[in-house]
Amino acid sequence: MTELFYIKTFGCQMNKHDSDSMSQILINQGYRQTESIKDAHIILVNTCAVREKAEEKALSLIGRLSHLRTKKPNLITGVIGCVAQERGVNLLKHFPYLDLILGPRNIYQIDKLLSQIKKERERISSLDLACELTSFPKCNGYFKGRVTSFLKIMEGCDNFCTYCIVPFVRGRETSLPAEKIIDEAKHLVSQGIKEITLIGQNVNSYNVRDKALPTFPGLLNELDSISGLERLRFTTSHPKNLSDELIDLFAGSKSLCAHMHLPVQSGSNNILKLMSRGYTRDKYIDLIERLRKTRPGITITSDMIVGFPGETEKDFEDSLRLIDEIGFDNLFSFKYSERPGIKALELPGKIGENEKQRRLSILQERQRGITLSKNRLLEGTIQEILVEGPAKRGDNQLTGRTRGDKVVNFPSANNLKGRLVMVRIVKGFQNSLLAELVDG
């Protein structure tokens, strides 16, 4: 009997990529993936620990696995990713029905560890943060029906921002060899992928720690020459590592999309210093001005945290003023969330939950107005979009994204999935654009 596995993924693009990697490894070993948790013989929960809410959701699902284990005594259950790394063997103590605890650096051992569990029926934890990044035989057909894909180029982070748990759960920066990245990109294109997003905790510092070549701009140049790769994106970038060479690429690369996600986290110099971000407000503004000068029309998105310890009302007002001054196309904003082991735990001036929520609501309302205004400015313009498939709302609508990463929906009775088409923007909404196909 073919064994079925089910993976539930929480968190960022890195976790989604890790789930894809594990799925391919298991399929290559004869397992089959299922979308039904009740049908699965193996259940893996891939977790995120960056924010408390994401961790709580994962732990809630893990708690519900007890009921399934009662019905299926031979069911194998595992926790993967950042929560697994953070809590380690304590998860085995707290959840006696768990069989596997697997850190993000150890996911490429998934098939061997499952075989060991089945053979010896022992409970296993594998949490080696020094484990080398590796590649694995790709699964032909796995990406069938997809148009876009993530491609991991590095793992871990050396920045140790005072609010961030990532260096503790994903380890220090390690870059994959360029030849392996290029080979995987070519494989993705051969499987029908048109757009690749390079991912890492700080892609700007690719190969910097190892003093290897190519650097990140050089890697982008090499990928730009791959035949059939229509679009290239990357995330996440750290402002302190955004080089002139990388900015200049936006002027000449044929596949590099006109979008930059550049997390600022705060508009206050005082808070940026407490966060150990390594740049000032003016430095960040200068980077945005240079990007917009190099690539007119480039869209800029960012992350921002409110309620960081010591954030005064003036500090918060500085963040609001930065939003107005920059005019972000979109902003992912969060209340400060204390995570175990981070340096910010030691900082005085904790902000109450009600006040954090008040500030977040004000900031998000301010950004909603800016985003809507920017989207409405696109009305009447002609945009190239890569069609990803049917829109969520149906009604014979298709959906895709502009090179600036704006979601566009448009009516069409034809199957245009995977094609680049030109559309005219008819209406700008808060979270998307409505368009019509341009003849020819």
Sequence ranges of the chain with CATH classification 3.30.750.210: 143-257
Among residues of the chain, what percentage have pLDDT more than 90?
91
Question: The domain 268-377: what is its CATH number?
Answer: 3.30.750.200
Phi-psi region of 338 (alpha: psi -120 to 50; beta: other; left: phi over 0): beta
**Model confidence pLDDT, tens digit, residues 215-242:** 999 999 999 999 999 999 999 999 999 9
List beta partners, residue 231. Answer: 195
**How is residue 101 annotated by DSSP?**
E
Which two tokens mark 100?
Answer: 């596997």
Pick one of 3.40.50.2300, 3.40.50.2000, 2.60.300.12, 2.40.50.140 as the CATH number of 382-437.
2.40.50.140
Of 423 and 54, the structure prediction assigns the larger pLDDT to 423
pTM of the model: 0.95
Separation CA 385–CA 395 (nearest Å)? 19
Q: So what's the pLDDT on residue 11? A: 86
Rounded (10°) angle between helices 281-294 and 244-252: 20
Mean pLDDT of the chain: 95
Listed in sequence order, the DSSP H helices in 253-397 are: 269-274, 281-294, 313-326, 353-377
Strand partners, 386: 401, 420
129 pLDDT higher than 80: yes
**Fold held by 143-257:** Transcription Regulator spoIIAA (3.30.750)
Residue 264 has pLDDT above 70, yes or no: yes
Phi, psi of 26 (to 5 degrees): -70, -40
pLDDT band of residue 12 (cuts 50, 70, 90) is: confident
d(CA 103, CA 84): 6
- Whether 394 has a pLDDT exceeding 80, the answer reads no
Give the count of beta carbons closer than 10 Å to the beta carbon of residue 133.
17
Give me the pLDDT at residue 135, please: 78
